[in-house]
């Protein structure tokens, strides 16, 4: 399956088979723009009535170029496909058809088979370093890796959410062909590759669009990250639609995770986006679209999106496991067990109720949706990195409790996601890090301290020094994963447990996920409950969970075939659920 010949992004420089490169930029309030090459030569662009400037001439891959907006203003291409010298320098022409794919017929995998592994390319060592880990991830049972954003950002250290060139994969990680080699190598091993894309904002440094093409943004609307993008304009819509198609058709990405879509308006564009993408990709491909959406808009999940990151389920479980109720965890502090069970059964906890932190309604009813419409996780980059010291769950709770949490994560019908290193219980922190200019680094440092002051452990000047400096190279270094760590004896039990759980999932749960639906639930005590689903083959999947320190007596016990149970659970007694234990069964018969 090669990229469609007809696909040609409306924005940017596109190298063509005849040796010419077409350059195109939308800048309606400029009358004359030209392309300036690294040798100083200059080519004028023609302008049409819609504000598009375009020219085409002989220009080889690798050539650096800029757009000249005025005698004193040269800018990189906003749709640059590679920024080899970082955000403030010239763009480079790329031949996107030069890479020879080993897996041109790859069509992806069905959504039900998905077990996601989220990772940060930089802290994993770059594209080539991740290739070396793919065999181990495949052996573990991972079926999809999700890459945090790759858009070129300032410097070489950033989560990726400060990217300013959405078409240019981060140069410090490797070349565009290095990225394709990673994707290709994953497909060889039948692993899908998802990409986290940021369509709701641009980073604060190097954003030439906000500096020179103000029409791209809404003058009357702000987001948490600055001026909102104007999605009412066709040229702006094309920029992001083509970007999505670019990753899917040129880089053979299998799916996109759209960051913070609650900051995008109008929301109707999100529905149009997924419909247009599916119409312009190979009809037999399994392409998946994932949402991060604070608003819990269940309507988007009915409109073609595969699933949403379920922060509600995570937050309820985190409160239950740790007792933390500061910040947004306060929304789940009253009855976290009840909230968790509701999330497992119906998806969202907040389905239109008043959210305590905002005093506004949040969410839409979601009980009719499939369990696979929700991505369940114990940790992700946000839930670790937004903590002041980036501490992992493995440092916060007992290993026996963590084992029960992993079992619930991997054997529920929701789509599970692990964060890099979680499979062996690493204690390596994942901190917040940036590498902006000095002035911006200072503002980020001060903002981080102000944000963390809302938490009791960091609410004074004396405690502020405990927060790692986001701009320090040491903060990034501390976040880098040591892959050899998983071979150490102290981590072996967690790793083998996670591997076994994924194997049970793939054998017994995945084949039955299509048309699965919630059946019933029962809460015995805080942290102790049973929840069941009617699976696609009409069998009942029942999970018996006890996070508490107390043994629980179950009046009816469990009667199904045991798929998995905690090692310390007494196999002869089926009416007692030991403390810190878990049992998964599959059975015929009526609902409980």
Instruction: Indicate the DSSP class of residue 188.
Output: H
> Among 465, 466, 472, 467, which residue's Cα sits nearest to residue 436?
472
Cis before 266? omega within 30: yes
HSE of 337, CA atoms in CB hemisphere, 13 A? 15
Quick one: tokens of 15? 């190298």
Could you tell me which residues are beta bridge partners of residue 222?
Answer: 227
DSSP H helices, 366-466, are 381-385, 399-411, 438-452, 461-464
Query: What phi-psi label fits residue 185: left (phi over 0), alpha (psi between -120 and 50 degrees) or beta?
Result: alpha
292 in active site: yes
Quick one: tokens of 105? 């017929």
DSSP H helices, 205-267, are 208-212, 234-245
Q: How far apart are CA 76 and CA 369, in angstroms?
A: 44
Phi and psi for 585 in degrees, rounded to 5?
-130, 160
Q: Which of 162, 259, 382, 469 is catalytic?
A: 259
591 in active site: no
Quick one: tokens of 386? 């937004």
DSSP string for residues in 2-18? PPPTT---SSEEEE-TT
Q: How far apart are CA 92 and CA 302, in angstroms?
A: 40
Number of other CB atoms surrounding residue 501 within 10 Å: 24
Instruction: Indicate the DSSP class of residue 260.
Output: T
Q: Which of 77, 170, 205, 292 is catalytic?
A: 292
Quick one: tokens of 542? 């029942």
Q: How far apart are CA 278 and CA 422, in angstroms?
A: 33
Nearby residues of 302 by Cβ (< 8 Å), 6 or more positions away: 369
Q: How far apart are CA 452 and CA 449, in angstroms?
A: 5
What is the greatest pairwise CA distance in the chain?
A: 84
Q: Which residues carry out catalysis?
A: 259, 292
């Amino acid at each position: 399956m090669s990229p469609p010949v007809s696909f040609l992004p409306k924005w940017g420089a596109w190298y063509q088979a005849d040796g010419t490169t077409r350059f195109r930029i939308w800048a309606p309030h400029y009358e004359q723009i030209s392309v300036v090459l690294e040798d100083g030569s200059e080519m004028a662009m023609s302008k049409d009535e819609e504000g598009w400037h375009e020219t085409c001439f002989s220009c080889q891959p690798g050539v650096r170029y800029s757009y000249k907006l005025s005698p004193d203003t040269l800018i990189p291409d906003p749709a640059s496909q590679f920024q080899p010298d970082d955000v403030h320098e010239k763009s480079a022409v790329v031949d996107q058809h030069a890479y020879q794919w080993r897996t041109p017929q790859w069509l992806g995998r069905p959504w039900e088979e998905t077990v996601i592994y989220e990772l940060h390319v930089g802290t994993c060592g770059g594209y080539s370093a991740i290739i070396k880990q793919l065999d181990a991830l495949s052996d573990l049972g991972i079926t999809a890796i999700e890459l945090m954003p790759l858009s070129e950002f300032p410097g070489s250290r950033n989560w990726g959410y400060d990217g300013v060139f959405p078409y240019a994969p981060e140069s410090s990680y490797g070349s565009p062909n290095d990225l394709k080699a990673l994707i290709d190598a994953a497909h060889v091993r039948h692993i899908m590759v998802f990409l986290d894309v940021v369509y709701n904002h641009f980073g604060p440094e190097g954003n030439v669009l906000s500096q020179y093409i103000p029409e791209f943004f809404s003058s009357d609307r702000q987001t948490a990250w600055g001026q909102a993008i104007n999605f009412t304009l066709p040229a702006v819509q094309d920029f992001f639609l083509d970007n999505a198609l670019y990753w899917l058709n040129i880089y053979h990405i299998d799916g996109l995770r759209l960051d913070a879509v609650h900051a995008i308006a109008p929301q109707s564009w999100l529905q149009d986006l997924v419909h247009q993408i599916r119409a312009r990709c190979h009809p037999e491909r399994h392409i998946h679209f994932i949402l991060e959406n604070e608003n819990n808009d269940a309507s988007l999940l009915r409109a073609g999106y595969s699933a949403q990151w379920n922060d509600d389920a995570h937050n309820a479980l985190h409160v239950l496991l740790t007792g933390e109720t500061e910040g947004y965890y306060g929304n789940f502090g009253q009855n976290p067990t009840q909230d968790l069970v509701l999330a497992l059964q119906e998806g969202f906890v907040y389905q239109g109720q008043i959210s305590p932190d905002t005093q506004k309604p949040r969410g839409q009813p979601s009980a009719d949706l499939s369990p696979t419409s929700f991505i369940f996780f114990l940790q992700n980059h946000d839930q670790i990195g937004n903590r002041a010291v980036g501490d992992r769950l493995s440092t916060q709770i007992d290993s026996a409790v963590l084992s029960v949490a992993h079992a619930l994560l991997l054997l529920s019908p929701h789509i599970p996601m692990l964060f890099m290193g979680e499979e062996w219980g690493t204690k390596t922190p994942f901190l917040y890090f940036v590498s902006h200019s000095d002035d911006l680094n200072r503002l980020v440092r001060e903002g981080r301290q102000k944000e963390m002051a809302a938490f009791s452990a960091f609410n004074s000047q004396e405690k502020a020094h405990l927060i790692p400096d986001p701009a320090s190279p040491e903060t990034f270094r501390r976040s880098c994963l040591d892959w050899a760590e998983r071979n150490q004896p102290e981590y072996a039990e967690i790793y083998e447990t996670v591997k076994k759980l994924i194997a049970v999932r793939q054998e017994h749960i995945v084949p039955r996920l299509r048309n699965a639906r919630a059946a019933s639930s029962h809460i015995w005590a805080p942290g102790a409950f049973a929840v069941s689903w009617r699976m696609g083959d009409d069998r009942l999947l029942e999970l018996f969970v006890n996070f508490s320190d107390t043994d629980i007596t179950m009046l009816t016990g469990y009667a199904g075939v045991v798929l998995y149970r905690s090692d310390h659970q007494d196999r002869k007694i089926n009416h007692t659920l030991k403390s810190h234990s878990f049992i998964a069964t599959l059975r015929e018969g009526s609902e409980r």
